[in-house]
């Protein structure tokens, strides 16, 4: 019988799935390229970063834009003569998991997820002995603020923000509701973090900032609305495609208003894949599988991490595969590390502890959530991400 590792590799060979790769354009190398341009650390042995740096050049003003969820699946819906497609420099490949936190911290740290530790929406923290939802900064089980429980940002997010070492005037623009969040500050460091209300607003703010500056600048924009709309409506819904069009029009407007000594680099953290209702599974806390666990699974709807009681490893794997092997892979930690899913540098001790013992990942468009019936959150999403399909893994790198 073919091993699940071999089944995955055969699917990669056939193009059904894509693995993260340090040898192709990726978020870590792009972050390193921009660090070198901005006077930060630049001493990596990273040929991909070197190539990306050469493509970007040495502009006086560098604007880096991350549009959440804006994968190549959305780029390819735009007209060939659109601003985004005309300036598409290269296709990039997301870090794994192809989820927001994993990739935002890859850009913000210049580290692969195996080192920076943001491994999904729900993350197991040894300091709590259970999972946390890090972006809202709360204990998952009861919504209690993590700071009140003694968890510090340094515990949750290893490493330091890249921009702290930049030799430029640094500013970050995020939606107003994100300005004061702990994850935002953990990603973007001690520089200015300003809020904005909508795309025209941030275009005006960034244009005014650069036009009035006599210093070299680095400006970052984070735009989440494509992702949020796709989650709620689906990746092919007119509302989602309208958000895609509005974003690309706003970026064209920004480029037109800025001077020639400015470069805009636009990318995404991941793409999207629709989640059909008949391909969604729920693991209830009272299921036989759940009774073998030491804590609630971490992860997201396309992938889950399981901490299994020592005496139940064999039984857990057998029962999980009986139920779900048609729909999800189940790997041991050793197999996961052999595949290099979390980057070429392996995993730190902190990350190894967060992963647990087994890892499940969807075989395509299937979704799964650990929750009681009626408490579904992720299984209500019409489109999602986190897996290895091309729609989830391929992202644009636009240089204009």
- Find out whether 112 and 28 touch, Cβ atoms under 8 Å: yes
- The one-character DSSP state at 224 is -
Give whole-number Cα distances, 244 to 16, 68, 183, 330, in Å: 25, 11, 25, 35
Average pLDDT by stretches of 10, the chain with 400 residues = 89 97 98 97 96 98 98 98 98 98 97 96 96 96 96 94 95 97 93 96 98 96 98 98 98 97 98 96 96 97 96 97 97 93 94 96 95 93 97 98
Q: What is the pLDDT of residue 1?
A: 57
Q: How many whole angstroms separate alpha carbon 32 and alpha carbon 10?
A: 32
Go through the domains of the chain in sequence order and give each one's CATH number.
58-273+389-399 (3.40.720.10)
How many residues are given for the chain? 400
What pLDDT is stored for residue 2 in this prediction?
74
CA distance linking residue 341 with residue 305, whole number of Å:
13
Using a cut of 0.75, tell me whether the model's pTM lies above it: yes
Q: What is the dihedral of CA 299, 150, 357, 96, to 10 degrees?
A: 40
Nearest to 198 by CA among 253, 237, 120: 253
DSSP state of 116: H
* DSSP bridge partners of 383: 274
Identify the pLDDT of residue 191: 84
Neighbours of 387 (CB within 10 A): 29
- By the 10 Å C-beta count (0-12 exposed, 13-18 middle, 19+ buried), 125 is classed as buried
Helix extents (H) in the chain: 4-14, 27-37, 47-56, 72-75, 83-86, 100-109, 113-116, 153-156, 182-188, 199-211, 225-233, 238-257, 313-324, 333-339, 349-355, 390-393
Residue of 100, 99, 95, 70 lying closest to 84 (CA atoms): 70
Task: Give the per-residue pLDDT at 119.
Answer: 96
How far apart, in whole angstroms, are the C-alpha atoms of residue 393 and residue 52?
Answer: 19
Angstrom distance (rounded) from CA 216 to CA 261: 10
Rounded Cα gap, residues 342 and 312, in angstroms: 26
Residue 138: count other Cβ atoms within 10 Å of its Cβ: 18
What are the residues facing 117 on neighbouring strands? none
């Amino acid at each position: 019988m073919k091993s699940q590792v071999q089944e995955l590799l055969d699917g990669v060979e056939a193009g059904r799935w894509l693995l993260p790769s340090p040898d192709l354009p990726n978020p870590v190398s792009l972050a390193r390229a921009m660090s070198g341009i901005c006077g930060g650390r630049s001493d990596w042995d990273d040929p991909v970063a070197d190539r990306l740096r050469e493509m970007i050049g040495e502009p006086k003003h560098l604007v880096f834009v991350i549009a959440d969820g804006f994968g190549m699946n959305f780029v390819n819906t735009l007209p060939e003569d659109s601003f985004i497609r005309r300036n598409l420099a290269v296709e990039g490949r997301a870090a794994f998991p192809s989820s927001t936190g994993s990739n935002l911290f890859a850009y913000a740290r210049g580290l692969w997820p195996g080192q920076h530790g943001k491994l999904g929406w729900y993350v197991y923290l040894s300091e709590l002995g259970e999972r946390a939802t890090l972006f809202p900064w709360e204990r998952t089980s009861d919504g209690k603020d993590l700071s009140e429980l003694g968890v510090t940002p340094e515990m949750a997010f290893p490493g330091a923000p890249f921009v702290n070492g930049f030799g430029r005037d640094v500013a970050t623009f995020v939606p107003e509701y994100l300005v004061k969040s702990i994850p935002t500050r953990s990603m973007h460091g001690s520089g200015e973090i300003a809020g904005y209300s909508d795309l025209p607003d941030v275009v005006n703010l960034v244009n005014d900032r650069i036009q009035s500056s006599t210093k070299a600048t680095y400006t970052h924009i984070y735009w989440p609305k494509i992702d949020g709309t796709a989650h709620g409506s689906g990746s092919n819904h007119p509302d989602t495609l309208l958000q895609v069009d509005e974003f690309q029009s706003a970026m064209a407007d920004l480029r037109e208003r800025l001077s020639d000594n400015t470069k805009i680099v636009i990318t995404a953290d991941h793409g999207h894949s629709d989640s059909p209702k008949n391909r969604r599974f729920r693991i209830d806390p009272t299921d036989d599988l759940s009774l073998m666990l030491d804590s609630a699974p971490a992860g997201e709807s396309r992938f889950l991490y399981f901490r299994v009681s020592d005496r139940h490893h064999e039984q857990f794997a057998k029962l999980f595969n009986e139920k779900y092997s048609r729909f999800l892979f189940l790997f041991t930690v050793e197999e996961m590390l052999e595949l290099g899913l979390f980057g070429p540098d392996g995993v730190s001790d902190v990350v190894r502890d967060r992963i647990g013992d087994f890892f499940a990942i969807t075989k395509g468009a299937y979704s799964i959530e650990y929750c009681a019936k009626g408490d579904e959150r992720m299984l209500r999403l019409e489109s999602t991400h986190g897996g290895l399909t091309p729609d989830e893994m391929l992202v644009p790198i636009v240089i204009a």
